[in-house]
Amino acid sequence: MVRGRQTVLWLQAGSCGGCTMAFLDRLSPDLKAAGLSLLWHPSLSEQTGEEVVAVLDGVIQGRTALDILCIEGAILRGPDGTGLFNRFSGTGKTMLEWVRLLSPLASYTVAVGACAAYGGVAAGDPDPTDAAGLQFEKAALGGALGKNYRSRAGLPVVNVAGCAPHPGWIMETLMALASGQMAPEDLDQLGRPKFFADHLAHHGCARNEFYEFKASAEHLSHGGCLMEHLGCKATQAVGDCNERGWNGDGSCTKGGFPCVACTSPGFEDSINYLATPKIAGIPVGLPLDMPKAWFVALAALSKSATPKRVRANAAADHVVFPPKRTRDSSE
Ligand code: SF4
């Protein structure tokens, strides 16, 4: 079946605008080539004031089809469930009202970023604005639309989680929806598309050799693995961040910063992103699919076998010990 271009309406709720910045960083294709037609976006569209009200009115009155509703930012439900902390200026309504009015009309509803998905930074303790995601409140189903929400095409909210999400995650989600190629089974239990959520941020990290030998960085400038001392959560966080690269070739760990698990609900509640919480010297957050006893045993074994080169380079800000052949190694 040939599908026409699918309409996209993008609204910003309790947001810093970072997800829009990520979206602007998409390299290709452009929206038209991706089969999308933008009804309105607060930063990309020229319409303002009454023109925007007319666009929204067209959707509400059924004159304009709404295929994909994108929401960026947390839904601020306060005070007392009124949503008045976040009015959509000039429309006479709160963003909470708009989201509840528009989402039943959309073929698909997409939460762009951790805030729209789970509440994100806006929902960090003590959360004075009563911020929530569209269909989740941190890891619990619910949120502004409630756990039973389904779009007109039968999908729950599609959570393109991340703070900010990779530009490719946003664009590929929109393209999959526009071409009718995303089904409920393509989402994980937290509503994230599996094409990126079936990976760990740890996959493809350039520091993997150091991780294998538990050769750890002690300062951010060091080359070693950031998990043991500096808070890296990439073995517990979904995302193909280290496989597809950001801005062409970047990632948090490549830039010398630990993964903060921004694709996970509740990442905003970390007390110190640059320290690894431990009990009796053992990191509390262990790799997702590894029993604690295995990890402890493997870590001890790895440390006992760490090559001098790996140990020395892990705690240095440049290569101090280049690879060289030992007497019994072969080429
Ligand atoms: S720094 Fe983080 S992502 Fe890289 S190897 Fe260590 S745990 Fe994995």
**Mutate which of 222, 240, 253, 310 to test ligand 1's pocket (most atoms within 8 Å of Cβ)?**
253
Report the alpha-carbon angle 63-65-67, nearest 5: 165
- pLDDT score recorded for residue 283: 86
pTM value is 0.94
What pairs with residue 108 in β-bridges? 68
Calculate how far, in angstroms, residue 216's C-alpha sits from the geometric centre of ligand 1: 10
- 6-197 has which CATH code? 3.40.50.700
- pLDDT score recorded for residue 331: 42
Cβ contacts of 225 within 8 Å, gap of 6 or more: 207, 210, 211, 214, 215, 216, 217, 232, 314
The reply to whether ligand 1 has any atom less than 6 angstroms from the CB of 77 is: no
- pLDDT score recorded for residue 2: 53
Instruction: Write down the domain spans for the chain.
Output: 6-197, 208-314
How far is the C-alpha of 135 from the C-alpha of 301, rounded, in Å?
44
Per-residue pLDDT in tens (0 to 9) along the chain, 331 residues = 556 899 999 999 999 999 999 999 876 778 888 999 999 999 999 999 999 999 999 999 999 999 999 999 999 999 999 999 999 999 999 999 999 999 999 999 999 999 999 999 999 999 999 999 999 999 999 999 999 999 999 999 999 999 999 999 999 999 999 999 999 999 999 999 999 999 999 999 999 999 999 999 999 999 999 999 999 999 999 999 999 988 888 999 999 999 999 999 999 998 899 999 988 888 888 888 888 888 888 888 999 999 999 999 999 999 999 998 776 655 4
Calculate how far, in angstroms, residue 117's C-alpha sits from the geometric centre of ligand 1: 25
Residue nearest to atom 6 of ligand 1 (CA): 225
Residue nearest to atom 3 of ligand 1 (CA): 202
How far is the C-alpha of 87 from the C-alpha of 114, rounded, in Å?
21
The reply to whether ligand 1 has any atom less than 6 angstroms from the CB of 200 is: no
The secondary structure of the chain, three-state, reads CCCCCEEEEEEECECCCHHHHHHHCCCCCCCCCCCEEEEECCCCCCCCCHHHHHHHHHHHCCCCCCCEEEEECEEECCCCCCCCCCEECCCCEEHHHHHHHHHHHCCEEEEECHHHHHCHHHHCCCCCCCEECCCEECCEECCCCCCCCCCCCCCCCEEECCCCCCHHHHHHHHHHHHCCCCCHHHECCCCCEHHHHCCECCCCCCCHHHHHCCCECCCCCCCCECHHHHCCCCCCCECCHHHHCECCCECCCCCCCCCCCCCCCCHHHCCCCCCCCEECCEECCCCCCCCHHHHHHHHHHHHHCCCHHHHHHHCCCCCCCCCCCCCCCCC
Q: Which atom of ligand 1 is nearest to the CA of 232?
A: 2
Distances (CA, A) of 90 to 48, 51, 205: 10, 11, 46
The reply to whether ligand 1 has any atom less than 6 angstroms from the CB of 229 is: no
The reply to whether ligand 1 has any atom less than 6 angstroms from the CB of 202 is: yes
Architecture of domain 208-314: Irregular (4.10)
Calculate how far, in angstroms, residue 318's C-alpha sits from the geometric centre of ligand 1: 17
The reply to whether ligand 1 has any atom less than 6 angstroms from the CB of 132 is: no
- pLDDT score recorded for residue 27: 60
The reply to whether ligand 1 has any atom less than 6 angstroms from the CB of 227 is: yes
- pLDDT score recorded for residue 110: 98
